[in-house]
Amino acid sequence: MAPPNESAQGTRPPLQRREVRFLVVFLLVLVGSFTFLSLQQVNDYAIEPLTGWIATASGAGLNLLGQEVTQEGTALRSPRFAVNIRNGCNGVEAMVIFLAAVVAFPAPWASRAIGLLLGVLGIQVVNLIRVVALFLTGAYFPSWFDSSHTVIWQGLVILSAVLLWIFWARRFALPSPGPAE
């Protein structure tokens, strides 16, 4: 006997209206957000200050670890290594993906607001760990820096956004099953 979502031939029914709505809203918010972020004024007055804050927080963490880091704008320098935190390394793309998924998901707006706040904070914590780890990698294992930067940490930051969304959706966004379910 086939499960209720499958016909006798083993094929699944076409996408339901809810799934199509999620995909359409997700893509619209994603495109709209990236278009908005591409504006020079948004970059200058929002993204660059955020990136500067990330550099400040990362520099503070590195100094706590004894790295003797100085900060110049979004650049961090020590006697062993220097790095400049640019767009693509500030966690904004992961935050936009998370934002689009939360906004598109059917949930009460209060749950969405909590999810956005906690998700953005979580993504930035992961990103700060990323910047510190990459700086230390560059300082002590320079031959590993490029692959660690582009392969490992980029994927981990995006993965953290996806996992935070799944956690939010399962824990806070979905209604509790009723007695009939």
User: Is 11 domain-assigned?
Assistant: no
Which pLDDT value is given to residue 181?
42
Which pLDDT value is given to residue 67?
96
The count of structural domains within the chain is 1
Q: Average pLDDT of each block of 10 consecutive residues along the chain (181 residues)? A: 53 75 96 96 96 97 97 96 94 96 93 94 97 97 95 94 94 61 42
Which pLDDT value is given to residue 171?
86
User: Is 97 domain-assigned?
Assistant: yes
Q: Distance between CA atoms of 20 and 41, rounded to whole angstroms?
A: 33
In the chain, beta strands by DSSP E? 70-72, 75-77, 82-84
Q: Which residues lie below 8 Å from residue 9, measured CB to CB, with a gap of 6+?
A: none
User: Is 29 domain-assigned?
Assistant: yes
Q: Distance between CA atoms of 37 and 50, rounded to whole angstroms?
A: 13
User: Is 6 domain-assigned?
Assistant: no
User: Is 28 domain-assigned?
Assistant: yes
Quote the pTM value: 0.83
What's the Cα-to-Cα distance from 70 to each of 21, 50, 53, rounded to whole Å?
48, 18, 14
The DSSP output letter for 143 is G
Which pLDDT value is given to residue 98?
97
Structural domain containing residue 144:
17-173
User: Is 9 domain-assigned?
Assistant: no
